[in-house]
């Protein structure tokens, strides 16, 4: 595992172990085929960025109990279900360099398994005994779907809007991290002031996470598991290209951007737009956006009382912005 992540996890290692055991327990089934499908999910816990954030927020408020663990499982199940469904919608054969569930099995199994995990997610939320947590999880499910739909609708828009871009990433990515922060606080019955801070910290993390992920798309690196220009293949224009096209007012770049959104751009045209964005400050602009958010995130941590948690969360935002995978 990456060394910075090992350091970030240190204050909550026992809690993460308990989370992992509970996650596996929830995704185990007596029926052989069902368990084989679920095994595909159990074996891909990844970096556990979202459970780490939730458990660190809970740790700031005191001893981490069952409620926080179930919240972490709840949100990871919801997140995983959304990825399984996304791969069906996008017809993706891979997810981070590995075969997607729909590729290993088929679309029918993937859709049904996604639905199953959504149901299990709500069940875990209900087991916390806190109706306000169930309400937050249900609201998040709607927000994630709205983000996907708005992204599809945005493909038909003739304008290249930063406002639309940030609306999409708030709903698709940032909302999940924000809810991780919030439920970490709510699981400990934290006061409203801390809940607001925890949610905003998570929201900032999510925005930086997606901006950084989008930057990867402008470079060739097989280790990332996301080919260069993959977003443009799907008609998506992200912050570096949006800035470069709007900032320069270049007619050729604008034409290329519209061709990308209309799904008419050739591979050569997409490569041309990528190079244009890189040559005209698009990457630097996106990096500066993350830096502004980092400053706000660090300011939110100033009054955290648990020094180990505070330092881990500082490392967390640094890792998200500086990660290379």
Summarised one tens digit per residue, pLDDT across range 8-49 is 999 999 999 999 999 999 998 999 888 888 888 877 767 899
Question: What pLDDT shows up at residue 97?
Answer: 65
In this predicted structure, the answer to whether residue 209 has a pLDDT above a threshold of 80 is yes
Q: Residue 29: how many CB atoms within 10 A of its CB?
A: 14
- Domain-by-domain residue ranges, the chain? 3-322
Tokens coding 260: 């990308």
- Residue 125 CB-density burial (10 A; 0-12 exposed, 13-18 middle, 19+ buried): buried
Residues 6+ apart with CB under 8 A from 313: 53, 56, 201, 297, 301, 304
Q: Alpha carbon of 148 to those of 74, 83, 151, 289, 314: distances in Å?
A: 20, 11, 5, 23, 30
- As a whole-number percent, the residues of the chain with pLDDT over 90 amount to 69
Q: Estimate to the nearest angstrom the gap between the alpha carbon of 294 and the chain centroid.
A: 17
Q: How far apart are the first and last CA of the chain?
A: 12
Q: Which CATH architecture has domain 3-322?
A: Orthogonal Bundle (1.10)
Q: Estimate to the nearest angstrom the gap between the alpha carbon of 116 and the chain centroid.
A: 20
Question: Could you read off the pLDDT of 214-242 as tens digits, one per residue?
Answer: 999 999 865 444 556 688 998 999 999 99
Average pLDDT over residues 43-63: 91
The helix/strand/coil state of 94 is strand
Mean pLDDT of the residues in the chain: 90
Residue where the block lists tokens 């698709």: 172
Question: What pLDDT shows up at residue 229?
Answer: 66
Residue 95 backbone dihedrals phi, psi, to 5 degrees: -135, 110
As a whole number of angstroms, the distance between CA 45 and CA 32 comes to: 21
In this predicted structure, the answer to whether residue 91 has a pLDDT above a threshold of 70 is yes
Question: Could you read off the pLDDT of 233-278 as tens digits, one per residue?
Answer: 989 999 999 999 999 999 999 999 999 999 999 999 999 999 999 9
- As a whole-number percent, the residues of the chain with pLDDT over 70 amount to 95
Report pTM.
0.91
Q: Which of 132, 39, 23, 32 is nearest to 79 (CA)?
A: 23
Residue 81 backbone dihedrals phi, psi, to 5 degrees: -60, -40
Residue where the block lists tokens 């698009």: 282
In this predicted structure, the answer to whether residue 5 has a pLDDT above a threshold of 60 is yes
Q: Which residue has the higher pLDDT, 128 or 38?
A: 128
95 forms bridges with which residues in the sheet? 98
Give, in degrees to the nearest 5, the angle at Cα 72 between 70 and 78. 100
pLDDT band at 99 (very low <50, low <70, confident <90, very high): confident
């Amino acid at each position: 595992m990456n060394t910075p992540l090992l350091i970030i996890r240190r204050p909550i290692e026992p809690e993460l172990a308990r989370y992992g055991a509970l996650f596996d327990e929830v995704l185990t089934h007596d029926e052989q085929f069902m368990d084989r499908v679920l095994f595909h999910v159990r074996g891909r816990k990844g970096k556990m960025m979202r459970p780490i954030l939730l458990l660190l927020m809970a740790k700031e408020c005191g001893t981490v109990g069952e409620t926080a663990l179930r919240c972490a499982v709840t949100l990871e199940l919801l997140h995983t279900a959304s990825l399984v469904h996304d791969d069906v919608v996008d017809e993706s054969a891979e997810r981070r360099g590995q075969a997607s569930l729909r590729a290993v099995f088929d679309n029918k199994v993937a859709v049904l398994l996604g639905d199953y995990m959504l149901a299990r997610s709500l069940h875990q939320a209900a087991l916390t005994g806190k109706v306000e947590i169930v309400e937050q999880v249900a609201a998040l499910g709607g927000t994630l779907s709205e983000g996907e739909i708005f992204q599809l609708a945005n493909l038909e828009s003739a304008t290249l809007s930063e406002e639309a871009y940030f609306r999409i990433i708030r709903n698709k990515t940032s909302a999940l991290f924000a809810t991780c922060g919030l439920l970490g606080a709510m699981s400990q019955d934290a006061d409203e002031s801390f809940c607001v801070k925890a949610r905003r910290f998570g929201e900032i993390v999510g925005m930086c996470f997606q901006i950084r992920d989008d930057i990867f798309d402008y470079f060739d690196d097989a280790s990332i598991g996301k080919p260069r220009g993959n977003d443009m293949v799907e008609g998506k224009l992200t912050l570096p290209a949006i800035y470069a096209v709007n900032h320069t007012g270049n007619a050729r770049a604008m034409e290329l951007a519209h061709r990308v959104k209309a799904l008419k751009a050739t591979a050569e045209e997409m490569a041309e737009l990528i190079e244009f964005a890189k040559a005209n400050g698009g990457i630097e602009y996106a990096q500066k956006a993350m830096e502004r958010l980092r400053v706000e995130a660090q300011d939110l941590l100033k009054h955290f009382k648990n020094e180990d948690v505070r330092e881990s969360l500082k490392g967390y935002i640094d890792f998200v912005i500086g990660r290379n995978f």
